[in-house]
Amino acid sequence: MEVIISRFNGKKRYTSKFNLALKPDLTVSEVLMLIKNSHDGSLSFRAGCRNGVCGICAVKVNNKSVLGCKTKVKDIVVDDKILIEPLDMFPVIKDLVVDIDNFIENNIDIRSAIVSSSTHKTSQEDMRHLDTVSNCIQCGICFSSCDVLNVNQSFIGPAALLRAYRCVTDKRDGLKNQRLKHYNKENYAWDCTHCENCTTLCPQGINVSEHISSLRKELIEQGLKSKGSSHHLAFLKSINKHGLLNEASYPFFSINFNPLRLKEVLPVGLRMLRKRKSPGIFHKPIKNIEEVRKLFREVKE
């Protein structure tokens, strides 16, 4: 089996290849240790608990971000080859070791310490829910795989938003309103595009995307306005009214007809008009619109 490792020595990137006879039940972390101990002592990588608890062994294997200690060779090998690379979205320090400072700072920014001015009894059901959300091991896999971070490095990231959701749903906390105002800012909850990569790849099985949606729901219920919430509510209004998206009027509703924000939507609209690609302004409701509206009512209830 050929193991290809992406390397970095502080100045340039290169690859090292090793032809090894590997047992299929070996983990990626065990393969890296074998290479370091028997073939190349200069190889740098992180490894800790070896039991999927500490999260520091995360790497990218055959283009998929995984925990090295929980991923077996037989489950990841393709055409008798394994390509091991550092996580995306993190600056590389050396070989497979990445700089996690920005990731940690984003989590600190969430201000996750619970502040309570009085005693509050919490039910077992509430605690079970909080425990599920708290299972995050800060491995950085969701951060590495996030499509938004690929184009916007200022985005706070899925792990931080998961921690934010955990804070606002803890009934013992007395800073919920202040927290929600903080999370309603640009590059926070409303910048997630629900690509679902965080949920699909989470080694703890946490439905990160769903919790981010729940955080957005909290923001709307508190009446906090932002570009993101306007966009979201305008989309729902169009679907509820017509059963489909009115692409001509939707941009104007999403900016609340604010003349100061027309520059955000007019250039695209004018280009579409010139190309004769502009959708019609007036839409009739679809044939089964009442079924759509029934769904809306059921969700609200």
- What pLDDT was estimated at residue 187? 95
Give me the CATH number covering residue 85: 3.10.20.30
Q: How far apart are CA 160 and CA 125, in angstroms?
A: 23
DSSP state of 278: P
- What pLDDT was estimated at residue 271? 85
- pTM of the full structure: 0.84
Q: Are 199 and 117 found together in one domain?
A: yes
- What pLDDT was estimated at residue 114? 82
| Single residue among 55, 82, 97 that ends a domain in this structure | 97
| Single residue among 97, 118, 150 that ends a domain in this structure | 97
Q: Are 137 and 234 found together in one domain?
A: no
Q: Are 61 and 131 found together in one domain?
A: no
DSSP state of 92: E
Q: Are 235 and 147 found together in one domain?
A: no
Q: Catalogue the E-assigned strands of the chain.
A: 2-8, 13-19, 58-61, 64-67, 81-85, 92-94, 97-98
Give tens-digit pLDDT for 95-133.
Answer: 999 999 999 999 999 888 888 867 777 888 888 888 888
Q: Which amino acid is at 240?
A: N
Token digits of residue 172: 């013992």
Q: Which domain, by its residues, includes 65?
A: 2-97
Q: Are 142 and 210 found together in one domain?
A: yes
Give me the CATH number covering residue 166: 1.10.1060.10
- Strands 81-85 and 2-8, by their bridges, are parallel
Nearest partner of 70 among 93, 90, 48, 96, judged by Cα? 48
8 A C-beta contact, residue 176 and residue 165: no
Q: Which residue has tokens 């001015």? A: 117
Rg (C-alpha) for the chain, rounded Å, is 24
8 A C-beta contact, residue 33 and residue 25: no
Token digits of residue 208: 């990160």
Q: What is the pLDDT along the chain (301 residues), one digit of tens a residue?
A: 999 999 999 999 999 999 999 999 999 999 999 999 999 999 999 999 999 999 999 999 999 999 999 999 999 999 999 999 999 999 999 999 999 999 999 999 988 888 886 777 788 888 888 888 889 999 999 999 999 999 999 999 999 999 999 999 988 888 889 999 999 999 999 999 999 999 999 999 999 999 999 999 999 988 888 888 888 888 888 899 889 888 777 787 777 777 777 777 788 878 888 887 777 777 788 999 999 999 999 887 7
